[in-house]
Structure 1
């Protein structure tokens, strides 16, 4: 009997290690275990808190500050307008919050969705882009992102679900990608361990004025930012120096995207450029490069824009404390802006190109 327990312990350790490794190599298995409540969500207090583990930026009511409610859905739906949107993590809301008769959304870069345009309605496309990605997404990658993986027009109605569920064949999709990050998230994001992480982070900030790489705290210690947004040397920062050619190239590609969708039969294509958190919450951090105003006022820009930067500027509270995205107030502003556009188009006679 004395030999059984060590052997049993060995098998338990081996089985546990095998399970951990299996979850570590598959993002889909990890998501299923997370959905079952076995492991915590690493972003439950905000993505910047997750990076920095600074207790002062631990947004314990993060979900409450993020989630829209049924009362945010439009009271009126405009039957002669269909709305199409392409966006990133700033526009994750369900399409039922939009005021079009039918509403379609693509999470940028995930897939191409085939749709059938209704000739009796105004078909409007709104493309949302966060400021830090403008020079990436609207330069060399614009065709791959917004055309090759955007909307395509089907000749016949496509009744397939837009995002079919993953089958077992996809469990090990992208095998081993980001295994270290997944293992860390799975093993070291339980609340008791976070207390130790917070202690370490506070010591680093208090004694050495340093934060974890990837996050930067403002000088007044009121805001937390992505390092790539706050560092003037980062090409993704709104403080990074841009040339007139950089702006010209973006404008040219925006016009090309618009022309592509107009030829497909859309009535109009709008761009909405969302400012970085640093642009709103720390405008004096460094010299702002003025990218969004330069694009929106460019004399060669043919694509119309939903300009939001001036409305967001007085409202830094629209951004999460421990996250780089806007909170429910920002989401509501986005919905008001887009649904206002839908209402505007509902007053126009239906026409197609």
Structure 2
């Protein structure tokens, strides 16, 4: 009995240490001893409804088109979010010589090589686009060399506070103990029961189309600026376009030859645009007469694809949706190469 007491005490200390320490949690994750909770989709993680349990698939079947002949090397820079993050999209997906990706939340100190054709792609999901465009892009910082810096972390005491916060610790404990198949099955039984008997689901998701599809709550929470159904005034659209044009001018001053814009539609904008009064943010920005940036439009294509464009249990696109977007981006890059570095029109 004494041995078991010490065994459980040691085991409890180990679990506690991992739950309050992000580095330890990442280390255990690298050893594949725990799951991050997203192996069946981010929406399933939030809801645990068995109908939306959708195993994550790595999209590795894409082959980019051949690049048109050019004497210049091509350097593609992407400022993006989770749709273009490492593991989803990379250099292998584009007909380019060099590739640099940076998150909107980080900073890229940059010195462009003017002997190359430098292309900047601004990629943002629809729900956060309005927030990003309250000013011109500030991710790029002119410097004597190119390197990335992360958003400044809190000081030591702040990091300790974050580590001990109940919400963060609970998330890590959940990943450590309850994101395996056994517990996910039990959680799914409970979630299914609550939905069928009490018509109750997690407040972090929204069921649409007679409960056939699931979307992220931020896409439908109408009072929220992230929602596709919150009002966007013409004045705000004008401001967004002005800030986009100023971002392009700033990129020009850093040595970029071309800037491309891509707004990825919210899942609800594709599978259930009649959920409420759709604000048509993407169409209004793209159609604005003063917009001076070429854009990648996949909204109408995704609507034709319907449910095949987004994963059932996730807010991100399927491989088919991703490949369609990549084809459009690469076609535009090749077009820009043919133009041989002419300024954006």
The TM-score normalised by the length of structure 2 is 0.87
Alignment of 1:64-103 (within 5 A): 66-69=58-61, 71-76=62-67, 80=72, 81-92=74-85, 93-103=89-99
Partner of 1:208: 198
From the superposition, tell whether residues 77 and 54 of structure 1 become closer, same or farther in structure 2 (CA, over 3 Å): farther
1:324 paired residue among 311, 315, 318: 315
1:184 and 2:174 correspond: yes
Unaligned runs of at least 5 residues, structure 2: 151-155
**For residues 257 and 311 of structure 1, what CA distance do their matches in structure 2 show?**
27
1:175 and 2:175 correspond: no
Partner of 1:345: 336
From the superposition, tell whether residues 152 and 235 of structure 1 become closer, same or farther in structure 2 (CA, over 3 Å): closer
Residues matched between the structures, number: 329
**For residues 76 and 278 of structure 2, what CA distance do their matches in structure 1 show?**
33
Q: Aligned-pair distance for 1:186? A: 1.5
Partner of 1:10: 5
Q: Aligned-pair distance for 1:223? A: 0.8
**For residues 344 and 205 of structure 1, what CA distance do their matches in structure 2 show?**
50
Deviations 1:271-303 (A, max 9, x none): 111111000001111111111111112233223
Deviations 1:42-78 (A, max 9, x none): 1000000011111111113x22xx4223x52444476
SS at 1:72 equivalent: coil
> 1:96, 1:103 within 8 Å by CA — same for their partners in 2?
no
**For residues 74 and 104 of structure 1, what CA distance do their matches in structure 2 show?**
19
SS at 1:273 equivalent: strand
1:106 paired residue among 98, 102, 109: 102
Alignment of 1:157-306 (within 5 A): 175-176=163-164, 178-306=168-296
From the superposition, tell whether residues 17 and 78 of structure 1 become closer, same or farther in structure 2 (CA, over 3 Å): farther
Q: Aligned-pair distance for 1:318? A: 1.3
The TM-score normalised by the length of structure 1 is 0.85
* Segment of structure 1 superposing worse, 330-339 or 198-207: 330-339
